Chains A and B, each alone.
Chain A
Amino acid sequence: MALEAELSFFNEHRDAWCAAHEGEFVLIKGTDSSFFRTDDEAYRCALNQWGEVPVFIRQVLREDPTEDPLSLIYGTLHAPP
């Protein structure tokens, strides 16, 4: 599955990266990593360097924020009245 290795690499290095780069955005391709102020900057760098290929961009945080739309999870997006 795409980006599985990058996700594992991120989780392995998360604690170390938080010490120096917490809040920044990491760009990972294979085992290459670089850090940016914004995810937009990271994406543009990835495009310039590798073209349009799967890349892993994630904000370096100690815990991942909850980003799931709860209305989708609990089925209240279009619940009958």
Chain B
Amino acid sequence: MPRLELSHGRLRGNTLIPPPDGLQAFGPTMEVMIGLHSATEAKRRTTGAALPAAVVGKAMIDTGATVTTIDRPAAERLGLEPSGKVESFGIGGKAVGVTVPCSVDIQGLGVDITRCHCHDLATHIQDLLCLIGRDILRHTVFHYDGPAGTFYLEIRERTAPASLKSIRPGKGARRNRLRRRD
């Protein structure tokens, strides 16, 4: 089973923050690519419509989130049409937002999400592209080691239902400090 292990030594300015502090300060983050849902991509290929490049950025695992959320500007850049309408709660009160179909490529492991929420994530954390919610985590083992400042994410393919599409090889470049175990 694919497993991604990451440690979080971080730089703040020129100072190296050791992994336990880095993980607490910055959270379990990783690089992801947000792209077209595989069905959308297939449709665009048959119609000759534009196939935009995937949007690459930072994602944070958020065990407090029921569903995965992507940054709204990224959805606009990909030209994603809404797949639903939802009422959301924000600091300013109730608001209505949309969901979009997309794919989330977690360091080589691609997952289709038919109804991914959109929010202005980057206004909360600079360069935040995605919050990985429990809709993806339900198919993973997420191990968080606070004292070591490491975490890993292992995807259990057998539990992935059809609605989350099959786990498929990702398309982007990988960071060399990740260790991937199959």
Contact = CB atoms under 8 A, between A and B. Distances in A.
Interface of A: 1-4, 6-7, 38-44, 46-47, 51-58, 64-73, 75, 77-78, 81
B83 A57 contact: yes
Nearest to A42: B114
B85 interface: yes
Contact of A73 (B90, B117, B162): B90
Kindly state the interface size class of chain B when it binds its partner: 35 or more
B131 A43 contact: no
Contacts, number: 114
B40 A52 contact: yes
Contacts of A55: 81-84
A13 B122 CA distance: 36
Nearest to B44: A52
B60 interface: yes
A24 to B, nearest CB: 12
A6 B163 CA distance: 22
29 contacts: A1-B96, A2-B85, A3-B84, A3-B85, A4-B85, A38-B163, A40-B112, A40-B163, A41-B163, A44-B39, A46-B83, A52-B43, A52-B49, A54-B82, A56-B82, A57-B84, A67-B117, A68-B90, A69-B62, A69-B64, A69-B65, A70-B65, A71-B64, A72-B124, A73-B90, A77-B60, A77-B62, A77-B131, A81-B25
